[in-house]
C-alpha cells in the first residue's frame, strides 16, 4: 500500500489493488448510525406504540414523556452510540473501527431478523442464520460499496418522518371530540340496551327448520316473539377489534388498528351521550368508543418510580417479541396484558352505576353481567346501557345452570390438532367436544338474557326500552377449518350472528328474513329514536323499506374487505350439523350422548362383564369427585387426560367410559392424531352428581355391540399444565 493510501484509509479496511478507495468520513459514519438505528429500533418502536395508544392512556403516560421518548429514540440514543464510537477512538483508529463495525453488524441484524420473520414461511433456524448472513452481507457492502453508503445517506432525509408520524398519531388518538348529531322533533328518549355477545354463530340457535330451538334457548325464543328476529344477520368482520366498532358506528373497517374515537367520531355514544342528553353505562373491554371521563386511573403510583419503569419494561419485552420468530416467543418474558388494553380489575368500581367499565376480556364474566344488571336501575334520565361480553366465547367454562367447571380466566388454549394456528384437526370428535362445550355455554348465555329481560320487566321499563341483542362474529366447528379466520369452508359459520331488535311499543314482532349487516344496527337505533346522522355511514336502518334488498354481504378479514353471496347464511349447514351431532333440544341428554359408543350412556356398569386384565394407566389432568354445595365453586364434571404407553399413530384409539355412582355418563376415545399424544376428554352432566363425595370410575371399553366389556383404569392425577 502506498504511503498516502495508508494515511487516508480506515484501519482494518482492505484496499482493492489498483483502485483508490475512499473510506467513509467520521461525519458520514455518524450519519449512517443515525439512519440504521432509526430504521432498526426507533421506527419499529414507534410503529408498535402507534398500534397500542390505549396502553399509553391506561398507564397515564403524560404527553411530555411521549415527546421526550420520541426525541430520545430518534436522537438521544443514536448520539450515545456515536459517542461510544468516538470514545473508542481514544484507543486508536483500529479500536474505533472495530467498535463501529460491531455496532454496524448489530443494527443490520436488528433489521434483518424481523424482515425474515415476517415472511411467515421460514423456520426459526432459517430466520436466525439468514439474518446473520444478511447482516454480514450488509456490513461488507457498507465497507466496499460507495453506492450503498450513498443510499444510507439519502435515507437520512426520511428520519424526521418517523417521530413526526408517531407524534401526529398520538395527538390524533387523544381527540375526544364527538361528531354532532341532530335530534329530530317528536323523538322519544327511550331507554336503550345494546348487548354484543362474542364468538356467537347465530345459526347455532336454530333447528334444521331454521326456527329457534326453544327447548335449549327459551329466552332467545321469547325475545323473538316480543321483537323482531333477523335470522339472516351477517357480521362485517372476523376480528373483534373491527367488528364491534362497526356495530357502534355503522361503518366498515378501514384498516385502522384499533378503530377509536379519532376515526369513529360519530357513534352510539356521540349520538346519545354527546348530543342526546343520555346517561350511560358502557361495558367496553376491547374497543374504545365510550367516553373515558369516568374510567378509573390505572395506578396511583408515582410516575418515575412505578409507571415509567413499567412502561419501559413493557416496551423492551414487546420489542423482543418483534424480533423473535413466533415459535420461540414463549421463551421470552411475557408481555403484560395491559399492553393489549386489558385493564386490571382494581380499576373497576363495582358500586358505580354510570360510566365506562373495562373489565378484563374473559375474567369473571358472571360477575361482569351482574354488575351490568345493577346499572339498570331506572334512576335518572334516559340511559344507554351497552355491554360487550365474551360469551359464549372461549374459554368454555359455564354450564346452563351458571356453574363453572374450569377457571374463567383471561388465558385459554385450544388443543390444536391441525397444521397451523387456530385450526381444527381432521378428527371430528375433537370439534364435537368443543361444540358441545360451546352450546352448553350458549345455554348459559340464554339464561343471562332471561335475567336481563326479567330485570327490565321488574322495573316496568321493558315495553318502552329499545333492546338490541347481537354478536360481533360467529365461530366454526368444522374439522380442518379455522375456528375464527374466514374461509370458503366456514364462511356461513363466521358471518352468521344473532340480531334481535325490540322497539319501544313493538307491534310487528316475529321473524324478519331481510338480509342485514351489523353496520345497520347504529343507523337503526338512530332511526328508532329519531336522530339524524350528520356524517356518512355504510349501513342503514333495517326498518327503512325504501332500501333495496341486499344480494350480497361485505365482511372484512385481517387483510381486506370482500363480498359474500346472500345464500351463504340463508343456506347454512350449521343447524343440520348441530342436529346430527347433538340431536334436538327436546332431548336434554342428547348434548351428552356423543362419542364412539353413545348407546352405553345411561347404563349401569354392572350390566357389562368386567375383565381383570392388565389395566391401562391414565395420566388425568382434570378429575374430581367432590361436588360442592356452594354455588360459586367450580364443579368437577369435565375430565381430561392421556393414555400412558399408547401410540396414537400405530395403535387404534382407546375407548373410555366415565361412570359416576355406577352409571356410565360419558363415552369418549383418544384422538386420532399424533399431536394429541393419546389425549382424551369427556364432559359429564351435572345431574349425575350429588352433593359431597361421588364414586367416579373410568373404564376401558372393548368388544363389540354383541358383548361390550369394561376394564377399570388406573387414574394418576397430574398437573393440568
Q: Which of 173, 189, 220 lies at the terminal end of a domain, its last residue?
A: 173
CA quadruple 138, 141, 147, 149: dihedral, nearest 10: 60
Residues 425 and 451 in one domain: yes
* Same structural domain, 362 and 467: yes
Domain termination residue (choose one: 131, 148, 173):
173
**Confidence at residue 422, expressed as pLDDT on a 0 to 100 scale:** 79
Of 234, 267, 556, 247, the C-alpha closest to 388 is 247
- Residues 571 and 601 reside in one and the same domain: no
Residues 6+ apart with CB under 8 A from 607: none
Looking at the structure, tell me whether residues 436 and 555 fall in a common domain: yes
- Please enumerate in sequence order all residues whose Cβ is within 8 A of that of 638, keeping only pairs 6 or more positions apart, or say none: 405, 406, 622, 681, 682, 683, 684
Q: Residue 370: inside a domain, yes or no?
A: yes
The per-residue b/e assignment along 36-63, b for 16 or more CB within 10 angstroms, e otherwise, is bbbbbbbbbbbebbbebbbbbbbbebee
Ordered DSSP codes for 471-495:
ES------TTSBSSS--TTTHHHHH
With respect to residue 323, please indicate whether it lies within any of the assigned structural domains.
no
Are 96 and 72 in the same domain? yes
Contact 441, 398 (CB under 8 A): yes
Helix-helix angle 77-88:93-117, to 10 degrees: 140
Domain stop point among 173, 189, 217 = 173
Shared-domain flag, residues 151 and 67: yes
Same structural domain, 502 and 556: yes
How many Cβ atoms from other residues are within 10 Å of residue 84's Cβ? 15
Cα separations in angstroms, 600 against 236, 370, 615: 44, 40, 20
Q: Which residues of the chain have pLDDT under 50?
A: 1-20, 296-299, 419
> 330 in a domain, yes or no?
no
Strand partners, 604: 663
* CATH code, 281: 3.40.720.10
Q: Are residues 566 and 614 in the same domain?
A: no
Domain-embedded: residue 316:
no
Are residues 105 and 247 part of one domain?
no
Residue 8 is predicted with a pLDDT of: 40
What per-residue confidence (pLDDT) applies to 587?
A: 95
The total of structural domains in the chain comes to 3
Inside any domain, residue 517? yes
Instruction: Flag whether 335 is in a domain.
Output: no
pLDDT (tens digit per residue) in 509-527: 999 999 999 999 999 999 9
Determine the structural domain holding residue 151 and report its residue range. 3-173
Residue 268 is assigned to a structural domain of this protein: yes
Task: Identify whether residues 55 and 189 lie together within a single domain.
Answer: no
Residues 202 and 287 in one domain: yes
Beta bridge partners of 385: 193, 281
Same domain, 145 and 273: no
Tell me which DSSP letter residue 398 carries: B
- CA contacts within 13 A on the Cβ side of 44: 21
What's the confidence (pLDDT) of residue 246? Answer: 96
Q: Among 361, 318, 369, which residue's Cα sits nearest to residue 339?
A: 318
Beta bridge partners of 657: 667, 699
- Spatial distance between the Cα atoms of 212 and 661, rounded to a whole number of angstroms: 35
Q: What is the pLDDT of residue 339?
A: 78
Sign of CA dihedral 104, 107, 113, 115: negative
Please name every residue paired with 627 in a beta bridge, in sequence order, or none if there are none: 692
- pTM value is 0.83
In a domain, 359, yes or no: yes
Instruction: Estimate the crossing angle of helix 26-37 against helix 93-117, to 10 degrees.
Output: 20
CATH number, residue 662: 2.60.40
Q: Any alpha helices (H) in 557-648, and if so which ranges?
A: 567-570, 574-582
| Residue 392: count of CB within 10 angstroms of its CB | 27
Amino acid at each position: 500500500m502506498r504511503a498516502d493510501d495508508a494515511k487516508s484509509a480506515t484501519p482494518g479496511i482492505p484496499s482493492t489493488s489498483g483502485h483508490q478507495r475512499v473510506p467513509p468520513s467520521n461525519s458520514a459514519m455518524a450519519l449512517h448510525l443515525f439512519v440504521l438505528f432509526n430504521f432498526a429500533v426507533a421506527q419499529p418502536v414507534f410503529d408498535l406504540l402507534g398500534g397500542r395508544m390505549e396502553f399509553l392512556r391506561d398507564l397515564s403516560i403524560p404527553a411530555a414523556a411521549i415527546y421526550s421518548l420520541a426525541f430520545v429514540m430518534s436522537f438521544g440514543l443514536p448520539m450515545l452510540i456515536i459517542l461510544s464510537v468516538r470514545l473508542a477512538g481514544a484507543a486508536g483508529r483500529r479500536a474505533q473501527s472495530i467498535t463501529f463495525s460491531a455496532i454496524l453488524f448489530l443494527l443490520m441484524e436488528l433489521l434483518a431478523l424481523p424482515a425474515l420473520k415476517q415472511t411467515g414461511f421460514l423456520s426459526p433456524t432459517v430466520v436466525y442464520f439468514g439474518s446473520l448472513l444478511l447482516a454480514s452481507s450488509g456490513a461488507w457492502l457498507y465497507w466496499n460499496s460507495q453506492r450503498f453508503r450513498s443510499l444510507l445517506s439519502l435515507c437520512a432525509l426520511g428520519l424526521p418522518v418517523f417521530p413526526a408520524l408517531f407524534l401526529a398519531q398520538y395527538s390524533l388518538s387523544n381527540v375526544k371530540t364527538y361528531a354532532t348529531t341532530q335530534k329530530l322533533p317528536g323523538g322519544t328518549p327511550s331507554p336503550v340496551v345494546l348487548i354484543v355477545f362474542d364468538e356467537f354463530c347465530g345459526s347455532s340457535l336454530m333447528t334444521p327448520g331454521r326456527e329457534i330451538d326453544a327447548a335449549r334457548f327459551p329466552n332467545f325464543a321469547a325475545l323473538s316473539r316480543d321483537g323482531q328476529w333477523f335470522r339472516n344477520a351477517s357480521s362485517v368482520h372476523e376480528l373483534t377489534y373491527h367488528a364491534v366498532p362497526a356495530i357502534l358506528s355503522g361503518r366498515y373497517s378501514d384498516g385502522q388498528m384499533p378503530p377509536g374515537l379519532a376515526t369513529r367520531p360519530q357513534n352510539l355514544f356521540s349520538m346519545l351521550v354527546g348530543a342526546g342528553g343520555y346517561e350511560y353505562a358502557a361495558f367496553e373491554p376491547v374497543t374504545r368508543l365510550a367516553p373515558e371521563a369516568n374510567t378509573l386511573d390505572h395506578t396511583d403510583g408515582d410516575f418515575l418510580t412505578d409507571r415509567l419503569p413499567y412502561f419501559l419494561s413493557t416496551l423492551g419485552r414487546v420489542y423482543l417479541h418483534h424480533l423473535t420468530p413466533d415459535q420461540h416467543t414463549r421463551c421470552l418474558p411475557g408481555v403484560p396484558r395491559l399492553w393489549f388494553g386489558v385493564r386490571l380489575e382494581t380499576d373497576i368500581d363495582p358500586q358505580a352505576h354510570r360510566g365506562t367499565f373495562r373489565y378484563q376480556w374473559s375474567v369473571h364474566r358472571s360477575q361482569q353481567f351482574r354488575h351490568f344488571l345493577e346499572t339498570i336501575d331506572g334512576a335518572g334520565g334516559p340511559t344507554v346501557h351497552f355491554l360487550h361480553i365474551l360469551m359464549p366465547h372461549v374459554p368454555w367454562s359455564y354450564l346452563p345452570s351458571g356453574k363453572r367447571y374450569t377457571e374463567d380466566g383471561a388465558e385459554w388454549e385450544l388443543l390444536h390438532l391441525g397444521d397451523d394456528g387456530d385450526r381444527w384437526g381432521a378428527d371430528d370428535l375433537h370439534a364435537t367436544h368443543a361444540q358441545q362445550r360451546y352450546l352448553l355455554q350458549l345455554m348459559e348465555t340464554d339464561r343471562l338474557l332471561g335475567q336481563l329481560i326479567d330485570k327490565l320487566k321488574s322495573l316496568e321499563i321493558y315495553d318502552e326500552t329499545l333492546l338490541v341483542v347481537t354478536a360481533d362474529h360467529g365461530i366454526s366447528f368444522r374439522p380442518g377449518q379455522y375456528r375464527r379466520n374466514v374461509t370458503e369452508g366456514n364462511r356461513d359459520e363466521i358471518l352468521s350472528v344473532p340480531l334481535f331488535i325490540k322497539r319501544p311499543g313493538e307491534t310487528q314482532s316475529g321473524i324478519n328474513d331481510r338480509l342485514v349487516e351489523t353496520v345497520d344496527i347504529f343507523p337503526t337505533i338512530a332511526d328508532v329514536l329519531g336522530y339524524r346522522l350528520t356524517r356518512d355511514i355504510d349501513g342503514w336502518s333495517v326498518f327503512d323499506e325504501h332500501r333495496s334488498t341486499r344480494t350480497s354481504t361485505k365482511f372484512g378479514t385481517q387483510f381486506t374487505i370482500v363480498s359474500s353471496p346472500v345464500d351463504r347464511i340463508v343456506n347454512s349447514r350449521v343447524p343440520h350439523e348441530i342436529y346430527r351431532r347433538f340431536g334436538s333440544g327436546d332431548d336434554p341428554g342428547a348434548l351428552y350422548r356423543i362419542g364412539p359408543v353413545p348407546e352405553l350412556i345411561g347404563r349401569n356398569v354392572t350390566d357389562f362383564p368386567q375383565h381383570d386384565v392388565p389395566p391401562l394407566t391414565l395420566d388425568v389432568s382434570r378429575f374430581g369427585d367432590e361436588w360442592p354445595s356452594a354455588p360459586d365453586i367450580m364443579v368437577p364434571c369435565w375430565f381430561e387426560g392421556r393414555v400412558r404407553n399408547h401410540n396414537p399413530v400405530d395403535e387404534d384409539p382407546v375407548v373410555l367410559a366415565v361412570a359416576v355412582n355406577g352409571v356410565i355418563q360419558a363415552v369418549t376415545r383418544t384422538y386420532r392424531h399424533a399431536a394429541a399424544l393419546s389425549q382424551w376428554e369427556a364432559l359429564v352432566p351435572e345431574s349425575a352428581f350429588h352433593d359431597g363425595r361421588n364414586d367416579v370410575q373410568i373404564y376401558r371399553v372393548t368388544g363389540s355391540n354383541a358383548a361390550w366389556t369394561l376394564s377399570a383404569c388406573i387414574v394418576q392425577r397430574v398437573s393440568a399444565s
